[in-house]
Chain A
Amino acid sequence: MPRFVAFLFLSAALPVAANECYSVDPAGGSVTFELKQAGSLFRGAFRRFGGQFCVAQGRVAQIDVWLEPASVETGLPEIDAALKAVEFFDVAKHPRIKFASESVQARGDRQVARGMLEVRGTRRSADVPFRLGESGGKPVVSGTFTLDRLDYGVGTGEWSETRWLGAEVKVEFSAGLSRR
């Protein structure tokens, strides 16, 4: 039953047709993150991101998304510069964070994309739950997941200390999808 509801929900936003692709629209969308610094939550955002969602038989079949860590914005220029440097995202060497789905499953009213997440040159299998909604007649994808920054080597040397800079990073995303 939930699967059926999800199917209906999804088909309302995405017309039933074979292999249609939608691009992620960065305008109006957001990708934010939060982690603990000295015990308090600290937040930031990535401004440049994109990718595509492909639909087959009214279901999301393939997801390929990316973001540029060089577009990180915390409101503190010194911190932004440090995050782009080699100890964190090493943007000169790894300009893009990428996720490519291998399978997409509906679980209740949400879906889970299982795939490869590549951050700072490290590829790991990851599950990213998401929802498809609708805003102004346009499909909108949104979701939240957490990851361990140390799994991807984000924060080397003294920054692998997790008492002062938490290992767990919560990522929240939301973006409209435009027909290609």
Chain B
Amino acid sequence: MANLRNSTGSYGIIAQAFHWLVAALVLAQIGIGVYAANLPVSLARLQWLSRHKSLGLAILTLVLLRLGWRALNPPPELPSSMPRWERCAALATHRLFYLLLILAPLAGWLYASAAGLSVNWFGLFQVPDLVSKNNELAELFKAVHIGLVALLASLVAVHVGAALRHGLILRDGVMHRMLPWMPRRED
């Protein structure tokens, strides 16, 4: 049971589950968004964009829950062998990640609202609009949404690169803290 929570040496199962679930959904979400946005007006585009909007709200909810869990359960500390600037860079990257994981779906939600294409969450319930229909605002939110997602995708590349450097080159155990199949390092 103790494994559910983070220790000073490793992430717990819940933090790991949040990480990999959000990672998988965000990658799928970017794929669906890029694919659907480039389709001509068609039933397939309507279906995929609707799923994209529902999935985006699911990701936003998961990220908020994840932040709540993180607030109650601080992440393990980085090894003191890491230079100070690297620890600062890691902290900044993670904070920016959370910021973008909230702002990107929020911009998408604003875009859908302003475009008059409201969201019915996976056909289960009506999601309220954040703003009323407005073409100029829709164009603005569209650009902001795309910009934030581009930034998020770049950050994914930086994050994966840094994780692999820790796992394969430095071999300092930092990447292993997030791998569920790795033996847990005790406090």
Contact = CB atoms under 8 A, between A and B. Distances in A.
Interface of A: 37-43, 74-76, 78-79, 81-82, 158-159, 161, 164-165
Nearest to B133: A75
Contacts of B23: none
A161 B49 CA distance: 16
A39 B133 contact: no
A160 to B, nearest CB: 10
A74 B50 CA distance: 18
Given A37-B117, A76-B116, A158 B42 contact: yes
Contacts of B150: none
Interface residues of B, number: 18
Contacts of A159: 43
Contacts of A79: 41
B41 A161 contact: no
Interface string B94-131: 00000000000000000000011111100100100000
A162 B116 CA distance: 19
A81 B43 contact: no
A44 to B, nearest CB: 8
Interface string B10-43: 0000000000000000000000000000000111
Contact of B46 (A37, A43, A75): A37
A39 B122 CA distance: 9
A161 B115 CA distance: 23
Contact of B119 (A40, A75, A81, A161): A40
A121 B119 CA distance: 33
Contact of B115 (A39, A41, A75, A81): A75
25 contacts: A37-B46, A37-B117, A38-B46, A38-B47, A38-B117, A38-B119, A39-B50, A39-B120, A40-B117, A40-B118, A41-B118, A42-B116, A42-B117, A43-B116, A43-B133, A75-B115, A75-B116, A76-B138, A79-B41, A82-B41, A158-B42, A159-B43, A164-B47, A165-B43, A165-B46
B135 to A, nearest CB: 5
A69 B118 CA distance: 24
Contacts of A38: 46-47, 49-50, 117, 119-120, 123
Contacts of A74: 116
Nearest to B49: A38
A75 to B, nearest CB: 5
A165 B119 CA distance: 13
A164 B48 CA distance: 11
A40 B127 CA distance: 9
Nearest to A164: B46
Contacts of A161: 43
Nearest to B127: A40
Nearest to A78: B41
Contacts of B47: 38, 164
Nearest to A79: B41
B48 to A, nearest CB: 10
Contact of B126 (A39, A164, A165): A39
Given A43-B133, A81-B41, A164-B46, 20 more contacts: A37-B46, A37-B117, A38-B46, A38-B47, A40-B119, A40-B126, A42-B116, A42-B117, A43-B116, A75-B115, A75-B133, A76-B116, A76-B117, A79-B41, A82-B41, A158-B42, A159-B43, A164-B43, A164-B47, A165-B46
